[in-house]
Homo-oligomer: A and B are copies of this chain.
Amino acid sequence: MAHQITSASNPLIKTLKSLHAKKGRAETGLFLAEGARLAREAADLGVWPQTMLYAADALQRPQVRDLVNEAERQGVRLIETSQGVLAQISKRDNPQTVIGAYHQSLAPLEALDGDVIVALEGIRDPGNLGTILRTADSVGAGGVVLLGETCDPFSVEAVRASMGSIFAMKLARASFSDLTRFAKTRGAPMIGASLKGAALDAERAVPARVVVLMGNEQSGLPPEMEAACDLLVKLPMSGRADSLNLAIATAVMLYDLWRRRGYDGARA
């Protein structure tokens, strides 16, 4: 049975609103993901929220009704509420009609599998991080590793930019020495993006298994990480721009590496 809450001052609603701040996420271990479609995709991956809120009139849509019924069978705490409360929780004038509060979940590094692993050193911008998760998912990567001090992958902005890939992509935190060991164990060379690198010949073959290492938005990779890479690649640049946006550079790297493997695993 769903509880009905229409007061924004209800303690539970206050807790959900607190998930916009890092402190609220740290204290609860939860994060917000918005939209019935996202909740459906997560459910298809076996991921259910701790709490699911929905607008009462959204139950008229069969997809939402099915989702809520299934969530109830899964033991999800259900809250039927108003558009106004949903707007307050999402901090949007036109909120989605379903919002879930999910458990934050990081994978151990060893659980990452698949040919391509993307490692991000000190990434600052949650929009970039979410977009990189979405892109890593799109090229069939095996996971994303966060190194050093990074922005929070469970911030609302990162989750929104990931467009659901926060659920589909394995995400780990690791030290650089652990990552180096992991790459060695897998026989995967580490390929770093760096202005000190050289453009990769378009015809050059690259092993299927790689770890792609990207530095942060301001300063790129630190020298000791560059030194540990098996290959440093500089992306071709023209015009007056100094550099690419980090999420763009990551995507250009990932798609170029995937092309060298004939886009294996691409959907028809």
Contact = CB atoms under 8 A, between A and B. Distances in A.
Contact of A247 (B139, B165, B238, B248): B248
Interface in A187-216: 199, 202
B199 A244 contact: no
A23 B254 CA distance: 40
A236 interface: yes
A127 interface: yes
Interface residues of A, number: 44
Contacts of A51: none
A248 B135 contact: yes
Nearest to A259: B202
A138 B238 contact: yes
B251 A244 contact: yes
A139 B240 CA distance: 10
Given A161-B245, A255-B256, A239 B202 contact: no
B127 A241 contact: no
Contacts of A236: 139, 255, 258, 263, 266-267
A183 to B, nearest CB: 21
A131 interface: yes
Contact of A140 (B137, B239, B267): B239
B237 A138 contact: yes
Given A245-B161, A259-B202, A139 B238 contact: yes
A134 interface: yes
A237 B169 CA distance: 14
Interface of A: 41, 45, 127, 131, 134-141, 161, 163-165, 168-169, 199, 202, 235-245, 247-248, 251-252, 255-256, 258-259, 262-263, 265-267
16 contacts: A131-B245, A134-B248, A137-B238, A138-B239, A138-B244, A139-B239, A161-B245, A163-B243, A164-B240, A168-B239, A168-B240, A199-B266, A236-B255, A238-B266, A252-B252, A252-B255
